[in-house]
Amino acid sequence: MMGPWRSFVLKASSIDISTHKHSLVKSSLESQLKTLLPRGRVFTSAAQLAGYGADGLGYKNHIPDAVVIPADAEELVGFMKGAKALHVPVILRGAGTSLSGGPVAAQGGVIVHTSALKRIREMNVKGFWCEVECGVALNDLDAALKPHGVFYPPDPSSGPVCTLGGNVASNAGGAHCFRYGVTSNYVLGVEAVTLDGTVHRFGGPAGGRGPWREDWKRFMIGSEGTLAAFTRFWLRLLPLPEKVWTFRATYPDLKTTEAAIHALVAHTSYPAAIEMLDPRGVAMVESSQMACGLPEGSFMLLVEIDGPEPLVNARVEPVAELLRRAGSKDVMFSDEDELRKKLWKARKAAGGLLGQLSPAYVVQDAVIPKRALAEVLQLVYDEADAAGIPAVNVFHAGDGNLHPNFLFDSRVPGDLDKVELISKRLMQRVIEVGGTLSGEHGIGNDKSSYMPLVFGPDSMRLQLAVPASFNPAHQMNPLKVFDNRRFAA
Ligand SMILES: Cc1cc2nc3c(=O)[nH]c(=O)nc-3n(C[C@H](O)[C@H](O)[C@H](O)COP(=O)(O)OP(=O)(O)OC[C@H]3O[C@@H](n4cnc5c(N)ncnc54)[C@H](O)[C@@H]3O)c2cc1C
């Protein structure tokens, strides 16, 4: 009887000591932060930190030691000047919609929330570029550009809230990136602050590299907060298309859906978007407030063509015919703004609706050669059904960018293990068919354990050398992308 009691007492007292130590360290961190930023910009209470524990995935919680919200770029630079001496990790956070565990304090530390850096500094319509701060929400930029007849094409479905900073740091994609290309195609310049507080410019309104021989800008895009804090960007714009037609077509099974996708990709109408919702995805939309009369029980393709009016009008019937010939008995199309917007709203809300279906979900972001689409998706259904884990697929089919969502309850013992096993098997198959781990969400800490499936030790060493050259101690967003990339205080 004595043994367990004694060990309990010892444990309790050691917790007391470490809690005491922790609160001492925390109060010292707090007072240091208050020398770097005005008082109202530093947050350390449990209630203030609670909302910063997770990202869009929600099931892995890492509460930071502190959160700072700089009022502007100058305050962010001021913070970065003193950040190294804090000896804790520094994690940049935009809207926190990442689906890869990117903006969380996996090794503790300070989260820098960029929500106040939200100025659109210039819209140079004639030059087809704009200058924006990193905290600007994507849809706010769209709304500001539209009256001028221009647009910024990358369109992640999280557009109402996600920030340009998060988009650039994860090289975001979106539905229309099939034709228009992802974020990296539109970043002309990046302004970034390194850990010593030095402000660097990579490129600018005219694009290029800025005062650098190598193209460092390319390293910044998709760096997932591991290199520097972005403050602003210069982004390339395009003229708004004159005419847009949106199609929806349903298919009875995966094989015919895949055939329709191949036919669309090969067609000279060159669609802007080819999206797919599986029957569960359609049912989820139809049982929500986003219901828009989609026929249930089938796989659905959502396709869009755009461009000069006469040209696009001439392509409508050939595209509809192609969709029918591929096996659809139900092809609808429209150029009416209201109808089109309703369809897109339903598609883009799908990710958010998952949260209403299930307490937690894991979404994968694999990219595969499109010829393997039906085969890999079948594997997803087979594995998930066998494990009793519902899988919902809503994704950018034209890009071969799969997003299987595995719904589970993290409170049920064993559920997460099952999801992780299915995800691993899926990723192994993805690599075997010639695909890769991420198309747009980034690796974060959710997919870092899969990195060795794709990259050998030499390749991992070389890739790790990039963040190491910016911050050798790995103070910027540690434990992301690479499992072994720890901050050595
Ligand atoms: C419903 C839903 C739908 C989605 N659809 C898509 C989609 O279609 N396409 C797509 O690509 N993604 C999608 N996502 C994922 C996510 O929205 C994107 O990755 C987005 O780019 C993240 O932006 P954010 O502002 O939320 O960044 P956060 O989640 O806050 O951060 C993401 C990463 O960027 C880094 N970061 C943020 N700001 C800065 C900065 N100023 N400087 C340096 N690093 C920074 C963070 O450290 C982190 O590593 C979706 C997410 C949800 C919830």
pLDDT at 351: 85
Nearest Cα neighbor of 140 from 163, 117, 156, 121 is: 163
pLDDT exceeds cutoff 60 at 1: no
Distance CA 449, CA 463 (A): 15
Mean pLDDT for the chain overall: 93
Task: Tell whether 235 and 247 lie within a shared domain.
Answer: no
Distance CA 419, CA 447 (A): 13
Q: What is the DSSP string of 460-475?
A: HHHHHHHHHHH-TT--
Q: What is the DSSP string of 193-256?
A: E-TTS-EEEEE-TT-S-SS-SS-HHHHHTT-TTSS-EEEEEEEE-EEPPSEEEEEEEEESSHHH
Task: Tell whether 404 and 466 lie within a shared domain.
Answer: no
| 14 belongs to a structural domain | no
We report the CATH number of the domain holding residue 287 as: 3.40.462.10
Q: What is the largest CA-CA distance in the chain?
A: 88
| 3 belongs to a structural domain | no
Task: Tell whether 89 and 118 lie within a shared domain.
Answer: yes
Task: Tell whether 74 and 61 lie within a shared domain.
Answer: yes
Query: How remote is the CA of residue 351 from the centroid of ligand 1, in Å?
Result: 13
Query: How remote is the CA of residue 179 from the centroid of ligand 1, in Å?
Result: 21
pLDDT at 23: 67
We report the CATH number of the domain holding residue 152 as: 3.30.465.10
Q: Give the ligand 1 atom nearest the CA of 114.
A: 41
pLDDT exceeds cutoff 80 at 453: yes
- Based on DSSP, count helices (H) and strands (E) in the chain, helices before strands: 15, 18
Taking only the tens place, the pLDDT of each residue in 50-73 is 999 999 988 889 999 999 999 999
Query: How remote is the CA of residue 193 from the centroid of ligand 1, in Å?
Result: 19
Query: How remote is the CA of residue 162 from the centroid of ligand 1, in Å?
Result: 6
| 442 belongs to a structural domain | no
Task: Tell whether 260 and 358 lie within a shared domain.
Answer: yes
| 318 belongs to a structural domain | yes
Chain mean position to CA 198: 27
Query: How remote is the CA of residue 166 from the centroid of ligand 1, in Å?
Result: 4
Distance CA 42, CA 68 (A): 5
pLDDT exceeds cutoff 50 at 6: no
Distance CA 344, CA 161 (A): 16
Task: Tell whether 259 and 356 lie within a shared domain.
Answer: yes
pLDDT exceeds cutoff 90 at 489: no
Distance CA 411, CA 285 (A): 26
| Helix (H) / strand (E) containing 309 | helix 309-325
Question: Look-up: residue for tokens 């009691």?
Answer: 5
Pocket of ligand 1, candidates 57, 92, 171: which has the most ligand atoms within 8 Å of its Cβ, to mutate? 92
Taking only the tens place, the pLDDT of each residue in 187-215 is 999 999 999 999 999 999 999 998 888 89
105 lines ligand 1 (CB under 6 A): no
| 252 belongs to a structural domain | yes
Q: Give the ligand 1 atom nearest the CA of 351.
A: 1
What the block records as the tokens of 53 is 């524990």
| 10 belongs to a structural domain | no
What is the domain extent for residue 300?
Answer: 243-432
Task: Tell whether 57 and 178 lie within a shared domain.
Answer: yes
pLDDT at 2: 35
Task: Tell whether 423 and 476 lie within a shared domain.
Answer: no
pLDDT greater at residue 82 or residue 2: 82
| 419 belongs to a structural domain | yes
pLDDT at 462: 97
Nearest Cα neighbor of 178 from 299, 301, 356, 21 is: 301
134 lines ligand 1 (CB under 6 A): yes
* Size (the chain), residues: 489
> Helix, strand, or coil here: 414?
coil
What the block records as the tokens of 125 is 């319509």
Task: Tell whether 293 and 155 lie within a shared domain.
Answer: no
pLDDT at 359: 87
Task: Tell whether 323 and 381 lie within a shared domain.
Answer: yes
- Those residues whose C-beta lies under 8 Å from the C-beta of residue 471, and which sit 6 or more positions away, are 194, 195, 226, 227
What the block records as the tokens of 341 is 């917007």
Residue at 255: amino acid letter: K
pLDDT at 50: 96
Q: Give the ligand 1 atom nearest the CA of 224.
A: 49
Q: Give the ligand 1 atom nearest the CA of 182.
A: 11
| 11 belongs to a structural domain | no
Tell the residue nearest (CA) to atom 31 of ligand 1: 166
Task: Tell whether 200 and 288 lie within a shared domain.
Answer: no
Taking only the tens place, the pLDDT of each residue in 160-173 is 999 999 999 999 99
Taking only the tens place, the pLDDT of each residue in 224-262 is 999 999 999 999 999 999 999 999 999 999 999 999 999
Q: Count structural domains, the chain.
A: 2
Task: Tell whether 45 and 182 lie within a shared domain.
Answer: yes
